[in-house]
Every structure is written in C-alpha cells, then in structure tokens.
Structure 1
Amino acid sequence: MDTLRSMRVFRAVVELDSFVRASERLGLSPAMVSKHVMHLERHLDARLLNRSSRHLSLTEIGKVYFEQCRDMLDNLDEVEATVGRTTVVPRGMLRLSAPVWFANPIFTRTLAAYRARFPDVTFDIDLSGRVVNLVEEGFDLALRVSEAPAPALIARPVGSVAFYLVASPAYLARAGVPRQPQELAVHALISYSLMAAGNELRFDGPGGGETVRYQPVLQSNNESLLHAAALDAMGIALLPSWQADDDLAAGRLVRLFDSYQLVSGKVYAVYASRRYLSPKVRTFIDFLAGEGRLGGNVP
C-alpha cells in the first residue's frame, strides 16, 4: 500500500474528524480509508487514532505525526506545483490565533469570503486573547495588532485599526467629561493589559504630542470584558474601532478627544518562517492584505 497515499488519507480523516466524510472527499470506501490508517499504524508500529463508535481523537504520538505529516504534504504540494507549473488548491485546516475583538462582523465576513473562494480550507481559530507560541502550539499564523512585532517572527502588515477612548453617558454624567488629556489622571481608566506600556497614553493633537500617565481601575487582556465594563459605566476605556463603532452610533458610548490622534495599530499576520509557507497560509495572508479587507492601506 502506498504510504504517501495513506498519509493523505490520514490527514483527511483527522481534519474532517470522520472516516465517512474522508471517504466521501477522497472518493474511497470507508473500509479502504480505514485500511490506509491501519497501514500507517503498522508501518509506524504506533497507534495514531483512538476510535469509538461516535468519536475520533489523536493519540499523543498521533498529534505529533499529524503535525509533521500535514506540513510535509503541504510542502510537497507546493514543490510539485512549482515544478509542474500548476496551481495548488489550498486545503486543510488553518489554525489561527487573533485578539478577542476579532469576533465581529468585519472579520467573519472576511472568513466567509475567503471560504467562498477556497472551500477546501477550514478554520480553527483561538480568540483567547493570549499570545500563543506558534511553533510549540501548532498554529499556522497569528493576527496581532502591534507597533513592533517580535523580531524572531515573520510579520506582514495586512490591515490597520484605530483605537478610541470611550465612556458611557452615565459615567460621564457622574464623573464629568474630560476636555484635556491631562484630566484623565483623575478619571477611572479601563486598560488593555497587552497595550498598557507603563500605564501611559500618547496623544498627538493641536498642541503637539503629550503623554498622560494613569492608574487603571480595571486591567485585562480580554477586550470583551473591557467593552462590557465601559458600557456599565465603570470608567473610560481604550477600545478598537471595530468593537466600539456600533455603540458610538447608538449613543451607548461617547468618543472622547476627537481632535487628538491616539493609537492606530497595524494588523500583522505573524508566522514562524518564510520557508515552505503552505498554500492555505499564503493565500489567506494575501486575501487579508487585498482590497483593504481589514482596514487601511496595506503596503
């Protein structure tokens, strides 16, 4: 039995979480799909999958083998396409990490549009708000908003997003409306911990630049919590425009310091290496960067 063919079958079984769905995609019988997986297990002398009547799961060895198998097949497809001058159809599961506030219509419309073009790609997206280790945790790429991405990683700008200082009408009625940035020192600030560099905010306005220090009443790496706290009149929050725009339009939040420029972060697609970039990753990054899908002009 062809081991390379068995590897492709094994990959399909894992990504589709089903022998039956893999058989339908590959045009094989479920029995033949099972034979391919068993061939690999005999070849490796190791169990790759835990099977039950209703569920499949990878063993520890299976997890390691699947990651290596997937990368090798992606690389092989790309090499064959280059040699044969054909176009590789992106396929497989794309594991992606992004900030919590990417759970919004702008990003979901982008995902839907990408899948309409490349229907063989599926997504596994982590929106936990943590900075994942791409290599150790098996992520294909991460979307991060930063002024200076980590130098050890490859970062390509794919968009931009503005951040606003906002507060609820109830908070402003209680605490007053700050007119100058320095007045923030006596207000309750809600702070995003991954952007809270020394609890300082930099303002560029009519009078030039100024830096304001503040003491947060709430600090978190979860933007959804900060958003909810701002709506509940807990204080003034720095929120991405994607998250705040609907509330600003509805009057649930008020934007402060319109004449000042605050943070305007670039959205970067971050990945571990340029070498052997799989078709699904390459096309997804190109898709994000195209036509200003994530805002701003991308070089």
Structure 2
Amino acid sequence: MPVMDLLGAIRTFVTIVEAGGLAPAAERLQISAAAVSRHLALLENHLEARLLDRTTRRHRLTEIGETCFERYSRILADIEQTQQFATAGTIEAKGVLRVASTIHFWTWRIAHVLPRFMRMHPALEIQVNLSERVVDLVEENYDLALQFHPPVNQSVVGRKITTIQRVVCASPEYLRLHGVPRTPEELTNRECLLYASRGEIVEWRFRNAEGERSVRVNGRLRSTDANTLRLAGIEGIGIIRSPLFVVEEDLRTGRLQRILSEAQSVDPDLLAVYPSRRHLPAKVRVFVDFLCEHFGQ
C-alpha cells in the first residue's frame, strides 16, 4: 500500500475509535461511511489482522487493535506537531485554558508557581475549578484535568505529572501516650485519621521487600480535607497518612513525627488528562509541559 494511502487509513482507524463508530468518524472526517469502511478494510488487509470486532450495534477493539490504536495515535500526534512547527514555528498559547484539579495538590503545589506560567504566556487566560470528583472533560467543557484516576475513555490521554509521596505520622504526644507502632498491621487497632467520606472501608497499602500488603484502618474522624486531618493529627487525635507536601513543615518542626518509614506507602500518580494527543491545542501542551518540567518528569 502506498505510504499516503496507509497514512489515510491509519488516520481513519484512529478517528473511528475516538469518535465511537464508523458513522461518527465519517461525519468528523467529512467523508462517506462507505469510504470509512473501505479505509478500515485496507488497513486490516495490510496488517493481516482484525482491528475491530464489529456487530450491528457496536465496535470493539481487538487486542492487536488496542496496541495499534495507542501507537498510531502517537504517530499521528508526532506528525501533526512536526507540521505545526515546520509551518508556523512555535505556536502562541492563547485563549482560555479551562482546568479542573484536585484541591489539595493545586493549593499546596501549583498555585504558587502559576504566576510564573502566566508571565510566560501573557495571551492566555486561565480558569481553574477545584474539586475531588472526576470530571467529564467533554461534557463539562474542560481542556484538561489534574487527577489521580487513570482515564477509562480511549479518546482521553493521561500523562504523568508526578508521584504523590505519602507518609504515616502522628504527634509526639500521641506516640508518648499510645506507643509507636512497629508494623503496618498494628494500625488496625489504632485510632487513625481517615481521608474518606461516609462509611466506606478504608485500607492503607504498603510495600516492602516482600511485596505489597493492605491494612484496614478505622477511626472516628473522616474527612476529604487534608488540612482537617493534619490539624487533628497535630493535636494528638490519631495517626495520619498524608501527602508529604501537606505535613512537610510539621515534620521539620517536630509537630508531627514520621513512623513506619521502613514500610513504604503505595503512592498514587497525579495525571494530566486531556482529550486525545491529536489536535492538542498549544495552550494545553505548554501547560502540561510546564508542569512536567516543574515536577521533574
């Protein structure tokens, strides 16, 4: 197959997956549904492999189709980015950048560096909404979200910004009165301060040379506000597992004392999530690149 025909077939296949079917892909590409079907068949014949399992009601990626979609998406993104740089140099980031973010990481780690980013891009306006829920980027009209949950939609991309290091700690007064736990399993019978809401079961996961293990913890205080738990920990109410950036100053001054340091907490990655690598607006690209550079990714 000629290279340009192959590239067109690849672009059609990726669009089918992103759009959710042949008909939506035809509308997005502004070609007929028959042409979309023909391009897909050409690509499958070229690869000698089925990329989509097709029924009358839906299309589902095969195992090789999932691999091809990921790799072809990166190829198309690289081609488009190269074309942008070749034809227009560095494209100016401008317009309105709408960001949804988890509250505590933004407040403690991003808010203070945001002015530097804004000085770098004076034509860019930024709107930030802070929430602990996972937003729908398309339905709620966000350009990107900063979240801990990996994307489940194939048309959405997640790029790692940083890993959130967490530590287990308590006040010196609490440890004097109740003793220092020596293993994660001892936490089961301790008063713990839980980052949670309502009555769900809370487990803290740890990792050591022997592997991972989960410990069920309980406590009288539950909150989705890290600072509420921090202040309760300082006052000796119980044991807290917190992002290091929240309690770093308290550890340095002795208001809190780290425990179980030999049992490493299993920590989450913070992801920048945005709709597809393809047609990535400059305003999204420069902000994600800025965050990755700032946090060393």
Q: Distance in 1 between matches of 2:87 and 2:221?
A: 57
Is 1:151 matched up with 2:152? yes
1:243 is matched with which residue? 246
Provide closer, same or farther for how the CA distance between residues 200 and 89 of structure 1 changes in structure 2, counting only shifts above 3 A.
same
- Contact kept, 8 Å, 1:129 with 1:222, in 2: the verdict is no
Is 1:181 matched up with 2:184? yes
Q: Distance in 2 between matches of 1:139 and 1:145?
A: 16
Q: Distance in 2 between matches of 1:79 and 1:268?
A: 25
1:294 is matched with which residue? 295
- Contact kept, 8 Å, 1:160 with 1:294, in 2: the verdict is no
1:117 is matched with which residue? 120
Provide closer, same or farther for how the CA distance between residues 85 and 165 of structure 1 changes in structure 2, counting only shifts above 3 A.
same
Q: Distance in 2 between matches of 1:80 and 1:211?
A: 49
Q: What is the DSSP-based 3-state SS (H/G/I as helix, E as strand, rest coil) of the residue aligned with 2:111?
A: helix
Q: Distance in 2 between matches of 1:104 and 1:249?
A: 20
Q: Distance in 2 between matches of 1:80 and 1:131?
A: 33
Give the residue type in structure 1 aligned to 2:152: P
Shift in Å at residue 281 of structure 1? 0.6
Provide closer, same or farther for how the CA distance between residues 228 and 128 of structure 1 changes in structure 2, counting only shifts above 3 A.
farther
1:63 is matched with which residue? none
Q: What is the DSSP-based 3-state SS (H/G/I as helix, E as strand, rest coil) of the residue aligned with 2:215?
A: strand
Q: Distance in 2 between matches of 1:209 and 1:79?
A: 43
Shift in Å at residue 257 of structure 1? 0.7
2:104 is matched with which residue? 101
- Contact kept, 8 Å, 1:206 with 1:260, in 2: the verdict is no
Shift in Å at residue 83 of structure 1? 7.8
1:259 is matched with which residue? 262
Identical-residue share of aligned pairs (%): 33
Shift in Å at residue 198 of structure 1? 4.3
Provide closer, same or farther for how the CA distance between residues 93 and 252 of structure 1 changes in structure 2, counting only shifts above 3 A.
farther
Give the residue type in structure 1 aligned to 2:184: P
Q: Unaligned 5+ residue runs, structure 1? A: 1-77
Q: What is the DSSP-based 3-state SS (H/G/I as helix, E as strand, rest coil) of the residue aligned with 1:258?
A: coil
Shift in Å at residue 93 of structure 1? 2.5
Give the residue type in structure 1 aligned to 2:111: T
Aligned residues: 214
* TM-score, normalised relative to structure 1: 0.63
Shift in Å at residue 207 of structure 1? 5.4
1:91 to 91, 94, 115: 94
Q: What is the DSSP-based 3-state SS (H/G/I as helix, E as strand, rest coil) of the residue aligned with 1:170?
A: helix
Shift in Å at residue 81 of structure 1? 5.2
Give the residue type in structure 2 aligned to 1:151: V
Q: What is the DSSP-based 3-state SS (H/G/I as helix, E as strand, rest coil) of the residue aligned with 2:264?
A: coil
Q: Distance in 1 between matches of 2:194 and 2:275?
A: 29
* 1:1-299 matched pairs, under 5 angstroms: 84-104=87-107, 106-146=109-149, 149-152=150-153, 153-193=156-196, 198-205=201-208, 208-290=211-293, 293-294=294-295, 298=297
Shift in Å at residue 124 of structure 1? 1.9
* TM-score, normalised relative to structure 2: 0.64
- Contact kept, 8 Å, 1:200 with 1:214, in 2: the verdict is yes
CA RMSD, 1 decimal:
2.8
Give the residue type in structure 1 aligned to 2:137: L
For residues 128-156 of structure 1, what are the alpha-carbon distances to aligned partners after superposition, in whole Å with 9 as ceiling and x for unaligned? 3222222222221111235xx03213101
- Contact kept, 8 Å, 2:184 with 2:263, in 1: the verdict is no
Give the residue type in structure 1 aligned to 2:189: V
